[in-house]
């Protein structure tokens, strides 16, 4: 693994690169408020990939956006494509968790010529009515115009910080500690998050029902969503409505938390990822 940094129009985007150059190019995208350590538990099991784990703006080591620039989903996607362009990756796969999987679904519609296939971990685009989409989008814009960011909560120790994360999300203490290790900073003798407080004002990432269905129906590649039995439900009504309707959309529930890819036992998930990206075939060819 190596640390990587990209300059996107004067803004620093950081991440981690696993595997080997010349392997299958895959961009990994973490969830809301997480960071690049999100994939530390499974990346070593995918050595055939050239796995680039990016950190969204305002998360981890990536720069915060200027005060007048909101954390919009389209800007996240713009950064991802700009990084792929810098790497000369015209085609790449996506391996994404939660918000990262939601944005990946948007990318299938916006850049179907660039994304070869997508594997989502407990996340997918949530759909809504056009009226609700307009309402949510306006609320997001108004919030960015008028709301002032407060101070981030402070903790006496990194362990206390991780315990709070684990309690809030239902993930293991070990996985919470991994996120804190990269996401925390020491400020005045106390631990706090490095992330921009404004990322907590989540952009309205749901799409109108018709758009989500069009994305899946028109996308030429394969989509696999690994849901978690004890995970999130915000996206499930959408994918359950579409499951079985389109041959390129596959949905399976795994036992585990929302941070399924960071649970104590990731073996079944890793096996599904390896099969989806056809890595067993790659091993046979190499041998």
Q: Tell me what the pLDDT averaged over the chain comes to.
A: 94
The domain made up of 2-144+205-286 is a member of CATH 3.40.50.1980? no
Is residue 285's pLDDT more than 60? no
The pLDDT of residue 281: 64
Percent of the chain clearing pLDDT 90 (strictly above): 83
Active site residue 140: no
Rounded Cα gap, residues 98 and 153, in angstroms: 23
CA distance 232 to 114: 28
The C-alpha torsion from 223 through 109 and 218 to 282, rounded to 10°, is: -40
Q: Which residue of the set 98, 175, 206, 257 is catalytic?
A: 98
pLDDT at position 202 is 66
The Cα 149–Cα 34 span in angstroms is 19
Other beta carbons within 10 Å of 8: 19
Confidence of residue 278 (pLDDT cuts 50, 70, 90): very high
Mean pLDDT (whole number) for 10-15: 97
Domain ranges of the chain: 2-144+205-286, 153-194
More confident residue, 143 or 2: 2
pLDDT digits (tens, 9 = 90+) for 145-176: 888 877 788 999 999 999 999 999 999 999 99
Type and span of the H or E element at 214: helix 209-218
The string of pLDDT tens digits covering residues 60-104 is 999 999 988 888 999 999 999 999 999 999 999 999 999 999 999
Q: Which pLDDT score is estimated for 51?
A: 98
Q: How many other CB atoms are there within 10 angstroms of residue 202's CB atom? A: 14
Question: Would you state the pLDDT for residue 284?
Answer: 46
């Amino acid at each position: 693994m190596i640390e990587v940094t990209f300059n996107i129009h004067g803004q620093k985007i950081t991440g981690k690169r696993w595997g080997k150059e010349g392997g299958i190019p895959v961009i990994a995208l973490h969830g809301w408020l997480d960071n690049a350590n999100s994939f530390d538990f499974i990346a070593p099991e995918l050595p055939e990939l050239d796995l680039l784990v990016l950190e969204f703006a305002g998360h981890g080591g990536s720069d915060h956006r200027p005060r007048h620039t909101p954390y919009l989903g389209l800007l996240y996607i713009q950064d991802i494509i700009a990084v792929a362009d810098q790497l000369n990756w015209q085609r790449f796969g996506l391996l994404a968790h939660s918000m990262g999987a939601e944005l990946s679904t948007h990318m299938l519609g916006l850049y179907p010529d660039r994304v070869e296939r997508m594997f989502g971990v407990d996340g997918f685009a949530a759909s809504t009515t056009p009226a609700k989409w307009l309402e949510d989008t306006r609320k997001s814009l108004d919030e960015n115009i008028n709301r002032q960011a407060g101070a981030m909560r402070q903790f006496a120790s990194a362990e206390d910080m991780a315990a709070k994360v684990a309690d809030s999300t239902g993930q293991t203490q070990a996985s919470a500690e991994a996120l804190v290790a990269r996401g925390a900073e020491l400020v005045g003798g106390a631990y706090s998050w490095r992330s921009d407080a404004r990322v907590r004002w989540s952009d309205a990432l749901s799409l109108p029902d018709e758009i989500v269905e069009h994305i899946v129906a028109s996308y030429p590649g394969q989509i696999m969503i690994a849901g978690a039995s004890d995970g999130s439900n915000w996206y499930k009504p959408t994918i359950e409505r579409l499951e079985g309707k389109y041959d390129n959309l596959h949905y399976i529930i795994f036992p585990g938390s929302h941070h399924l890819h960071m649970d104590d036992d990731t073996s079944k998930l890793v096996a599904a990822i390896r099969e989806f990206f056809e890595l067993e075939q790659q091993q046979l060819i190499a041998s």
